[in-house]
């Protein structure tokens, strides 16, 4: 087969030994490190910087500027370009915004999206179809499993485990009254179970464990296990035995 047809803006700087797929689009001022691989139909937005060995899957949009119209409250300001660290792998049909920083050796699975002004630490996994909203900080070695929803204005410290389909929110009054958006704060080493729900502004303490399907409306002290709707501490006698 002939060399792939694609579009590379003349101002882009392409490292050594890069592979660029069919119909990919590399916009102005993009910088690709050595050995990067860009999949078929991927779009790399203006100014985006991808480190050495970064892989971008087919159909992904990397370094997108936020859109807006008459309906959007928080107008996007001019954003700095997206930066992605060495060795990070990005799946297919992913959407990543400008204005964010992704660390080294991060894994971002298919259909995931990460908004602007987010920070993702090194060696973290963002699962398939997981969504991370704006202004959120995620530490290193975090696992965010498939389909989890990480709201805006949220903090997730290092070594946290977010189970599949966990849901969070940051607006206590659901648009009815003014409120300073505040998502949950999840401390180091905590683990949140499958499809659990975290209400706005709560804190999950270090190494705390939230059971699958729990609905957490209050802050949870470090090291405790909470389950149920509304979530309550598991009885001490049971805490030895259980951990799911």
Residue list 77-106, contact with a copy of itself (CB under 8 A)? 87-89, 91-93, 95, 105-106
Distance CA 108, CA 85 (A): 12
Per CB under 8 A, does 64 bind a copy of itself? yes
**Contact with a copy of itself (CB under 8 A): which of 51, 194, 226, 234?**
194
Structure tokens at 163: 């189970």
Distance CA 47, CA 31 (A): 7
Burial pattern 209-239, b for ≥16 Cβ within 10 A else e, equals bbbebbbbeeebeeebbbbeeebeebeeeee
Distance CA 38, CA 92 (A): 10
**Contact with a copy of itself (CB under 8 A): which of 197, 208, 225, 234?**
197
**Contact with a copy of itself (CB under 8 A): which of 35, 81, 212, 233?**
212
Least distance to a copy of itself from the beta carbon of 234, Å?
11
Least distance to a copy of itself from the beta carbon of 16, Å?
19
Per CB under 8 A, does 219 bind a copy of itself? no
Distance CA 186, CA 39 (A): 34
Per CB under 8 A, does 33 bind a copy of itself? no
Structure tokens at 203: 């804190």
Per CB under 8 A, does 46 bind a copy of itself? no
Per CB under 8 A, does 237 bind a copy of itself? no
Residue list 151-180, contact with a copy of itself (CB under 8 A)? 151, 161, 163-165, 167-169, 172-177
The H-assigned helical ranges of 96-160 are none
The CB density around residue 1, as the number of other CB atoms within 10 Å, is 4
Phi, psi of 198 (to 5 degrees): -110, 120
The H-assigned helical ranges of the chain are 236-239
Per CB under 8 A, does 185 bind a copy of itself? no
Least distance to a copy of itself from the beta carbon of 193, Å?
7
**Contact with a copy of itself (CB under 8 A): which of 14, 15, 22, 35?**
22
Least distance to a copy of itself from the beta carbon of 8, Å?
8
Beta-bridged to residue 167, according to DSSP, are 197
Per CB under 8 A, does 124 bind a copy of itself? yes
Which of these ranges, 15-23, 75-83, 232-240, lies near a copy of itself under the rule CB under 8 A?
15-23
């Amino acid at each position: 087969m002939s060399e792939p047809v694609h579009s590379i803006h003349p101002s882009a700087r392409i490292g050594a030994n890069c592979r660029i797929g069919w119909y990919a689009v590399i916009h102005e001022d993009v910088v690709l490190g050595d050995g990067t691989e860009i999949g078929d139909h991927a779009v790399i937005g203006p100014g985006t910087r991808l480190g050495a060995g970064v892989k971008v899957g087919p159909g992904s949009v990397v370094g997108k500027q936020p859109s807006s119209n008459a309906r959007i409250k928080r107008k996007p300001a001019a954003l700095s370009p997206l930066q992605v660290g060495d060795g990070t792998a990005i799946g297919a049909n992913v959407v990543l915004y400008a204005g964010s920083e992704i660390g080294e050796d991060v894994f971002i699975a298919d259909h995931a999206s990460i908004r602007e002004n987010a920070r993702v630490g090194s060696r973290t996994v963002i699962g398939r179809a997981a969504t991370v909203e704006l202004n959120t900080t995620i530490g290193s070695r975090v696992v965010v499993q498939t389909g989890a929803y990480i709201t805006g204005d949220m903090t997730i410290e290092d070594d946290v485990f977010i189970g599949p389909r966990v849901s969070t929110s940051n607006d206590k009054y659901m648009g009815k009254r003014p409120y300073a958006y505040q998502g949950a704060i999840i401390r180091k080493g905590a683990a949140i179970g499958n499809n659990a729900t975290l209400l706005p502004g709560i804190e999950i303490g270090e190494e705390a464990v939230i059971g699958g399907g729990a609905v957490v409306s209050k802050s949870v002290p470090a090291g405790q296990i909470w389950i149920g709707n509304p979530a309550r501490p598991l009885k001490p006698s049971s805490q030895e035995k259980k951990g799911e």
